[in-house]
Structure 1
Amino acid sequence: SFGCGDIELPQVDLPGIPKKEAPVVQDQPSTETPTPSTSPTAPAMTPAPTKTPEQIIAELLARPSMNLTDADLTTLSELPAARDTITELNLSASTISGTGLKALQDFPGLTKLNLQAFTLSDGDWSPLGNLKSLKELNLSRSGISNLTMTSLSPLKQLTVLDLSETSVTDEGLAALKEFSSLEQLRIGGTQMSGAGLEFLGTKGARAPLKVLSASNTSLGYQGFVHINQFPTLEELHVAGSSVTNSSMTGLKGLNNLRIVQLSGNLVSDEGLKSLTASRTLEELTLAENRPISDACVVRLKTFRQLKYVDLDGTSCTLKGVEALKKALPECKVRLDQQVY
């Protein structure tokens, strides 16, 4: 027989009696420990290769000079490899200050320094005087002045000095009165009359000048009085410098002249007599000296070593050129923008 508890009766909806809802069975939480998701592992960063001192030096020296800073010079001065190897530096048009100049004294082999178009306050030039190994110094178009020229006085070992297109005058050359090793001086485009050359002559440094470049100055007025105090002179550049026949007498006795640039002056055939002793003359530029005529050939043909002469803008004619070529067939002669 069957018990009543064993019979499952069908559910019948009765009127007025609410329907019994079936119990909701809740999902049991899983007892399994979830596996954490892993993100992709980033590749290990490769450290940047360490630059060698040589690479650092090469990179800094390859920069345009105008971009170099005090910090760059300090960096170089702290590298033994730089201190031991750097012999030349180009700092033209840079913004280096007195701090940067001080760093230069850590380079015992520095012999050549370019400070063209370089500007400093008056009080910042003094570190230059500490560069005892320096031989060549370019200060053209820089802010050096008579006042700051005294900063150069300790540099008695200089052989080359360029002061062209600066505000330095004859008075400023007094700072060079002990420059007994100076071989090249460039003062073109300054207000110098040449009187200051006495500080380099027999009453001063007795400098063994070989090159004097003084074009576009007033050297013809007083400079030629002192030029014969430099018997070692080989090159003289005085274009556009008020040179006259009277000035030319200062060249008498200069036996080692090889190159003379006299264009744009007032020299005549008569003035060339003062070059008679210059048997070593190889190049002579007389362009734009209107008084020069065919009569100059008499003087020029005595210079047996002459290789080039410029007669553009003179009163010479083709006839004079032919006569000179006949006497010196190996010499190139320029006239009316033609070379014969």
Structure 2
Amino acid sequence: MLIATPNYAANILRFPDQSVGSISICPEESAVYGEQGFDESGRNRWQVLGPAAGEVEIPEGFVVRLEISHVEANNLDWLSELPNSLISDIRTKNVSLGDDGFRRLTRFTGLRHLSVADGGISSEIASDLPRLSNLQYLSLRSNEQLSDDAMAAIAALPHLQSIGLDRTAVTDSGLETLSRSSSLQAIYAGSTQVTDSGIANLASLGNLRTLNLYAGDPEFRGDAPNPSISDVGLAHLKRFPNLEELDVTGAEITGSGLERLAVDCPKLRRLVVSHCALSTDDLRHIGLFKQLEQFQCYGTVLDDSVVKQFGTLTNLRQLGGDLQISNDGVRALSALPSLEELKLSGKCDDSCMASVAAMPSLRDLALEHTRITNEGFALLADNAKLEHVQITGNQVTTRCIETLATMPNLRRLGLMAVEPRADGEPIWKSLETLAPSLSELWLFGCPSLDKADFAKLAQFRDLKTLRIEGGRAITDEDVKHLKQLTKLDYLELTSTVITDEGLTELMKRPALRRLRINSLATEKGLEALARASSIRHVTIGSPNLTDEIVQRVHDRHPQMVTIRRTEILLRDSPVSRAKDNADKFWRMGTESERVKLNALEGETAPKLAVTDWLNRDQSLDLAELHGRVVLIEFWGTWCGPCRRQMPKVRGLHEKYAGRGLVIVGLHSTKAAEKANEYIAANDISWAIGLDDKKQTSTAYAVPHWPSFYLIDRNGVLRIANPSMNDLEAAVVALLDE
């Protein structure tokens, strides 16, 4: 059945002077709408033209996607000025259109795709839907007042192929009504009250290809509505022999249900069964799905016994889940000719790397906390297939860069919390050898990135995406090295002390469109950033910016599509300044999180409610310590970060005890029975007490473990939970008073 196609010609679209969103265009004959599914070719066909502000010229022969991201529901008069046949795709998110706003959208009779998420609409829209006779894809997700009453109007849309009803009030009865559709092929009804009966009610949709009844992880879903699907529901799927995609995350299904599903739906290409309480043994049936291309199962361990059943899955491209396989499991997966993505963790060591190197289609490899070393990784030298490598907290050190440099088609690299070189050389030694090939670089939690190493980034002339999260705080001088990155499109720097000067430097990047940064920027710096010729999306954190300032700047620069304020981070942790700017030290936590902590500062330190001191015979009272600086640490042996910080605490004790620093450790009541053993094994000499029934941690408003508090020589709590970056400097400042 043919759909009426408007005659597209060059047009001028007129929007308010202040941007209401963004405009993308695509040649009419190449436009792809709706959920991408297995065909991802449409993702890059739409080109962002710019913000939806003022007059926007649309070239002849192009169709338009309008993304409405910030506009008031009572300020939609401009919609009536737009040509009703030119726009083929409209998407809104977090815009409270209401039923009246939705009605205004239905004047665009040429729409093929309409997505209204969190729109505040109800089933009253049913009377307006018939105008959308060309619609192929409709998404009404997160509209909780939308009920079964609107389903008849949706089912009557003559060309509708896909309907999104996640987080609405649709029930089994609504699905029965939808089954009257003559064209519907995809239904997304996650986080609804649909049950097994709802699947049965879809019986007449013989051409159903996609069904998504996502229910989430039972541990975290709470009392929110979620589909209730069991083996009975899976059995009803035999009525849909052409089903290609199924997501029943959180369902109460068994291995028997999976076995039957493989017979009833032989064309399944994508299957998601995460958090379904399936046993590892149940998953052996996955090998029966002969056409499977994508399989995802989180919440159940996929071990060697499972993946050894995958030998018949010759089309499997993507495998996601809690993959805990050994070298034998890797060897089993190496027999899959189509596997493109592989994530290894835990048990794997060097002996599996020959199998990884032999995988004929592998493009994307992730190593997370494995036993693979540089020697094993070296077996991937000259691998021409790998395009993306990610290494996280692994025994492979940055010596692997020598191997990465031999991969001719490597385009994306992620290094997260990798270990330093064994020979003590800088962690980024030879990083510049990767510069000619990479278009995307992601560095996370790598504290050894010093100034000289940062300078090497200037050589990455073809880099389009750069993300540096955590680690040493980046300065204005550092960002000057990025001036050569003329192709940079997306930049993310989460740990910086960049000022307005640094922002001015960044805005000179000619291709930079998206910037996410934490900084010390003021309104002046944000204003300069908003005037940049290319930047359209900014997410920024600064102690000097407020929501009001950000909105004011945005109002003055309508060409900016989005400007959002976020909490400032240093070393990937949220931080705030002192409440009264009395000192220069950062505090842990966002401004909202620090309300109770800030109230403690400047007051006499709360007493210690300790009934049992673990490594001293006599009790300790803070009043006895007047005249000295006191550092209180709340910690526990069960707390990994506490154990990692112990060498730093020991260093402070050894370095400053002679100048008047006293350290007091307060162990949590949790795992208290292990504290004595740990104290003895680690030769801890400063006072350690047990927090009696959490009285002291409550008095100090402890937000997490470890937490540190500094008390001056007069017994006043001066700094509650300083940033670890500033802890030693704060100690010295109080000692010097």
Q: Does 1:132 align with 2:143?
A: no
User: Of residues 230, 246, 257 in structure 1, which corresponds to 2:268?
Assistant: 257
Structure 1 residue 129: deviation in Å? 3.5
Structure 1 residue 176: deviation in Å? 0.4
Deviations 1:108-145 (A, max 9, x none): 21111111112235434421243211111111101311
User: Of residues 277, 283, 289 in structure 2, which corresponds to 1:278?
Assistant: 289
User: Of residues 64, 76, 82 in structure 1, which corresponds to 2:79?
Assistant: 76
Q: Does 1:67 align with 2:77?
A: no
Conservation of the 8 A alpha-carbon contact between 2:250 and 2:273 = yes
TM-score (norm 1): 0.70
Deviations 1:257-282 (A, max 9, x none): 22212221233455446545532222
Counterpart CA distance in 2 for 1:317 and 1:90 is 42
Counterpart CA distance in 1 for 2:251 and 2:233 is 10
In structure 2, what is the equivalent of residue 47 of structure 1? Answer: none
Q: Does 1:56 align with 2:50?
A: no
User: Of residues 172, 175, 181 in structure 1, which corresponds to 2:174?
Assistant: 172
Deviations 1:180-204 (A, max 9, x none): 3222211112222232123333xx2
Matches within 5 A, 1:199-214: 199-201=201-203, 204-206=204-206, 208-214=207-213
Structure 1 residue 149: deviation in Å? 3.0
Counterpart CA distance in 2 for 1:251 and 1:167 is 31
Counterpart CA distance in 1 for 2:166 and 2:280 is 30
1:268–1:175 CA distance, 2 compared to 1 (3 A):
same
In structure 2, what is the equivalent of residue 117 of structure 1? Answer: 118
Q: Does 1:334 align with 2:343?
A: yes
Deviations 1:312-335 (A, max 9, x none): 16xx54144234234337634435
Deviations 1:78-101 (A, max 9, x none): 55xx11201112233334344444
1:239–1:54 CA distance, 2 compared to 1 (3 A):
same
Deviations 1:272-296 (A, max 9, x none): 4654553222222233225x54322
Counterpart CA distance in 2 for 1:67 and 1:247 is 47
Conservation of the 8 A alpha-carbon contact between 1:224 and 1:250 = yes
Structure 1 residue 156: deviation in Å? 4.2
Counterpart CA distance in 1 for 2:298 and 2:333 is 18
1:255–1:221 CA distance, 2 compared to 1 (3 A):
closer
Counterpart CA distance in 1 for 2:334 and 2:161 is 41
In structure 1, what is the equivalent of residue 300 of structure 2? Answer: 289
Richer in strand (by share): 2
Runs of 4+ in 1 over 6 A off after TM superposition: none
Matches within 5 A, 1:302-313: 302-312=312-322
In structure 2, what is the equivalent of residue 234 of structure 1? Answer: 244
In the alignment, residue 156 of structure 2 is paired with which amino acid?
Answer: P
Deviations 1:231-255 (A, max 9, x none): 2222222222222113212332423
Conservation of the 8 A alpha-carbon contact between 2:315 and 2:337 = no
Counterpart CA distance in 1 for 2:147 and 2:79 is 29
In the alignment, residue 56 of structure 1 is paired with which amino acid?
Answer: R
In the alignment, residue 187 of structure 1 is paired with which amino acid?
Answer: A
Conservation of the 8 A alpha-carbon contact between 2:96 and 2:118 = no
Conservation of the 8 A alpha-carbon contact between 1:263 and 1:285 = yes
Counterpart CA distance in 2 for 1:281 and 1:214 is 19
Question: Could you list the runs of 5+ residues in structure 2 that have no partner in the other structure?
Answer: 1-9, 22-51, 54-67, 216-226, 349-365, 368-737
Structure 1 residue 75: deviation in Å? 4.5
SS of equivalent residue, structure 2 residue 12: helix
1:70–1:154 CA distance, 2 compared to 1 (3 A):
farther
Conservation of the 8 A alpha-carbon contact between 1:68 and 1:91 = no
Structure 1 residue 164: deviation in Å? 0.9
Conservation of the 8 A alpha-carbon contact between 2:246 and 2:271 = yes
In the alignment, residue 219 of structure 1 is paired with which amino acid?
Answer: I
SS of equivalent residue, structure 1 residue 310: strand
SS of equivalent residue, structure 1 residue 252: helix
SS of equivalent residue, structure 2 residue 119: coil
SS of equivalent residue, structure 2 residue 211: strand
In structure 2, what is the equivalent of residue 17 of structure 1? Answer: none
In structure 2, what is the equivalent of residue 247 of structure 1? Answer: 257
Instruction: State the structure with more CA Rg.
Output: 1
In structure 2, what is the equivalent of residue 23 of structure 1? Answer: none
Structure 1 residue 299: deviation in Å? 1.9
Counterpart CA distance in 2 for 1:243 and 1:193 is 13
1:284–1:123 CA distance, 2 compared to 1 (3 A):
closer
In structure 1, what is the equivalent of residue 183 of structure 2? Answer: 181
In structure 1, what is the equivalent of residue 196 of structure 2? Answer: 194
Counterpart CA distance in 1 for 2:275 and 2:174 is 27
Corresponding residue pairs, total: 280
SS of equivalent residue, structure 2 residue 176: helix
In structure 1, what is the equivalent of residue 329 of structure 2? Answer: 321
Conservation of the 8 A alpha-carbon contact between 1:97 and 1:124 = no
Conservation of the 8 A alpha-carbon contact between 2:14 and 2:81 = no
**Percent of aligned positions that are identical:** 25
1:307–1:175 CA distance, 2 compared to 1 (3 A):
same
Counterpart CA distance in 1 for 2:120 and 2:78 is 22
In structure 1, what is the equivalent of residue 599 of structure 2? Answer: none
Conservation of the 8 A alpha-carbon contact between 1:214 and 1:237 = yes
SS of equivalent residue, structure 1 residue 54: strand
Counterpart CA distance in 2 for 1:200 and 1:125 is 20
Conservation of the 8 A alpha-carbon contact between 1:134 and 1:157 = yes
1:309–1:120 CA distance, 2 compared to 1 (3 A):
closer
Question: Could you list the runs of 5+ residues in structure 1 that have no partner in the other structure?
Answer: 1-51
1:321–1:93 CA distance, 2 compared to 1 (3 A):
same
Counterpart CA distance in 2 for 1:121 and 1:311 is 37
1:244–1:336 CA distance, 2 compared to 1 (3 A):
farther
1:317–1:274 CA distance, 2 compared to 1 (3 A):
closer
Counterpart CA distance in 2 for 1:106 and 1:328 is 50
Counterpart CA distance in 1 for 2:199 and 2:158 is 16
SS of equivalent residue, structure 2 residue 265: coil
Counterpart CA distance in 2 for 1:213 and 1:179 is 18
1:259–1:288 CA distance, 2 compared to 1 (3 A):
same
In structure 1, what is the equivalent of residue 627 of structure 2? Answer: none
Counterpart CA distance in 1 for 2:306 and 2:194 is 30
SS of equivalent residue, structure 1 residue 306: coil
Structure 1 residue 163: deviation in Å? 0.7
Conservation of the 8 A alpha-carbon contact between 1:236 and 1:259 = yes
Counterpart CA distance in 2 for 1:66 and 1:175 is 34
